[in-house]
Copies of this chain bind each other. A is one copy, B any other.
Amino acid sequence: MREGISLAVVRRLPRYYRFLRELMANDVTKISSKELGVRMGYSASQIRQDFNCFGGFGQQGYGYNVDYLYNEIGKILGVEKKYKAVIVGVGNLGHAIAGHINFEKRGFRLIGLFDIRQDIVGQEVGGKPVMHMDELEAFCRKNKPTVAVLTLPRDEAGAVAKQLIELGIKGLWNFSNGDLELESDEVIIENMHLGDSLMTLCYRITDSIE
């Protein structure tokens, strides 16, 4: 059922999930692919194709039950997984992510933060204690986190990523503005290249205003 789903489809799932939650909040109980398409800016065809990658969630002549579809997509995404996550690098950005992101609602559980700066080690951030990088290895061996959030400088990210993979990390959420040079079959990497996005915005603005 899940074999060979393209990343293009997968990346639309969280957006469907958000829109469906919104519909639920507005007490909408059913929706057709046509109407959802209008709201989301997708074609009705695409929506039906997307959902049918994972099985038939709709009912002919009726449409889709919003609650049911929301829950199914949540299951597909794995929102209930509670994969253990650590944040490595508790500067501005790591701090912000610890406080800002609801890991619990997105399939993860934040279990620890790490930094080298002595002034932040020992503090609580996002309700969790910040530990020293020296403790990372022992912590991972004991607690076996599945993913690591990399919010440290570009120069340090590569070495830490390698270390984490050796410690059994399965996924990296990479905020350092560079590509991690790792074999792609070792680990799943989601890059959040803020700098790239900002430069793309610059291009697109220039393009739009001539």
What is the CB-to-nearest-CB distance from A75 to chain B, in angstroms, rounded to a whole number?
10
Point out the residue from B106, B171, B198 that lies within 8 Å of A106, measured CB to CB.
Answer: B198
**Given A14-B193, A194-B192, A199 contacting B92 (CB threshold 8 A):** no
Report B-chain residues with C-beta under 8 Å of the C-beta of A96.
Answer: 91-93, 95-96
Contact with B along A81-93 (1 / 0, CB 8 A): 1010000000111
Instruction: Tell yes or no: A170 within 8 A of B by CB.
Output: yes
Report B-chain residues with C-beta under 8 Å of the C-beta of A2.
Answer: 207
What secondary structure prevails in chain A residues at the interface with B?
Answer: helix
* Cβ–Cβ contact B205 & A170, under 8 A: yes
Residue of B nearest to A18 (CB): B178
Instruction: Tell yes or no: A79 within 8 A of B by CB.
Output: yes
Chain A interface (Cβ < 8 Å from any Cβ of B):
2, 5, 10-11, 13-15, 17-18, 41, 76-79, 81, 83, 91-93, 95-97, 99-103, 106-108, 146-147, 170-171, 173, 177-179, 184, 188, 190, 192-209
